[in-house]
Amino acid sequence: MKRLPIKTNALSLAFVAGILLSGPGAAAAPGEVVARIGQEAIVRTVAEGLDVPWGMAFLPDGRMLVSERPGRLRIVHRDGRLSAPLTGVPEVHARGQGGLLDVALDPDFARTRLVYLSFAEPGPGGAGTAVARGRLGEAGLEATQVIFRQQPKVGGGLHFGSRLAFSRDGYLFITTGERYQRDRAQQLDNHFGKLIRIWPDGTVPPDNPFVGRSDALPEIYSYGHRNMQGATLHPDTGRLWIHEHGARGGDEINLPEPGRNYGWPVITYGVDYSGLKIGIGTHAPGMEQPVHYWDPSIAPSGMAFYTGEALRGWKGNLFIGSINSPALYRLEVDGTRIVRQERLLADLGEQIRDVRNGPDGFLYLLTDNRNGRVLRIEPAR
C-alpha cells in the first residue's frame, strides 16, 4: 500500500515551535532554560562546550558518555562538567561526515563494562564505517578492539551512517551508509548501504539471511539503504526501527526484515539534488515500501521512542531530530503506522543530532555544532 508523503509545511499537520528565551544559538549555562514547548515542557541546558557531538549513552550512575565527531569521547557529569577526552578511542577519519559517531553500552554493562563505538576508520583505499569496543576504566577505554569493518574502504567523506542498537535477544545491529556509491547498495559483495547484524564479539550469527552464499557478505541483514542515521527498538514489541536519508526528499522510516531489499537507488520518493529523477520510480517488485517518508527532506538524525512518565501524553511517541530543517519531530505511532506528526523547537536555531531517554524519565538531545550542547526536555513546573 502506498504511504502518503508527509509535507513538512502542510497545514493539516500540527506545528509547535519552541519559544526561545534566549536568541538562536546563544550560549546558555548549564541549568538555564532555553526554550518552552507550549505550556507543558521546558528545555534546559545540561552541558555545553562539546565539539560537534554525535552520540550519547547514559552510564548506570546517571553520567553520560558523549562522542565528538573529531574523535573524542567524554563523560558528561550530572552537574554538566565535561571530562578530559577518554583514552583508548580508535583513530578516526574526521573528514566530511566522517569521524567518531555513535556510542552504546553493552546490555550487560554492569558486569562487562564494555562500550561500543561506531566511527569512520581510515585505511588503505580511504575510509569505511567500523565498530570497536573497549572496557571502560578510570581513564578511558581499555583493550579496545575493532569488531566490524565495512568492506571495502573507499575515498570521500560522505554517508558513513551510523547508529548502534542491541536487540533484546543479544544481537548488535549496525547501520551504515552507501558511501555515496549508489549502485553498490544493491550489491551483496560489499557493506555499502547495508544493515549489519553481528554478535557483540563481532562473530556472525548462523541464521543471518546471506550466510553460506558465495556472492554475499555474511554480516548483511538487509540492503538497498542509502544513509541510515537512526535506529531504535520499539519499547513494547522490541522490533528494530531505522530511518535513512533520502536525497532531495524521500527520507524514510523502515522496519527491516532479514534479507529484504529496501530499494535504494532503484526506487525512492526523492529526486537527485540536481532535480533529476533517480531510479525507476517509487515501487518495484521485490523491493520494500517505507512505513513513512518525508518530502521535502528533514535529514533525520538520532531517534528514540519516549518511554518515561514525566512528559505526560508523550509516552510511546517516536522522537526524531532534524539537521536539515533544525527541529525535533514528535510522531504518534499506531502499530507500525505514523498517524500524526508535530514539529517542535523549530526556533532553537541548532541542529539536533541525537535523542535519548534519560534514567530520570526526561528526554535528552544533542545539538550538532562547534559549541554543542546537551539539552533536557522536562515538564514545566
Where in the sequence numbering do the catalytic residues fall? 159
The strands making up 64-68's β-sheet, listed across from edge to edge, are: 53-58, 64-68, 72-76
One-letter-per-residue 3-state SS of 190-227: CCCCCEEEECCCCCCCCCCCCCCCCCCCCCEEEECCCE
Task: State phi, psi for 298 to the nearest 5 degrees.
Answer: -110, -10
Beta partners for 318? 305, 331
CA-to-CA separations, 42 to 101, 330, 343, 375, in angstroms, rounded: 28, 15, 15, 10
Contact 309, 361 (CB under 8 A): yes
Which DSSP helix (H) or strand (E) runs through 275?
none
For strands 337-344 and 14-15, give the pairing: parallel
The CB-side HSE value for 121 (13 A sphere, CA atoms) comes to 21
d(CA 65, CA 63): 7
Helices (H), the chain: 109-112
Contact 258, 208 (CB under 8 A): yes
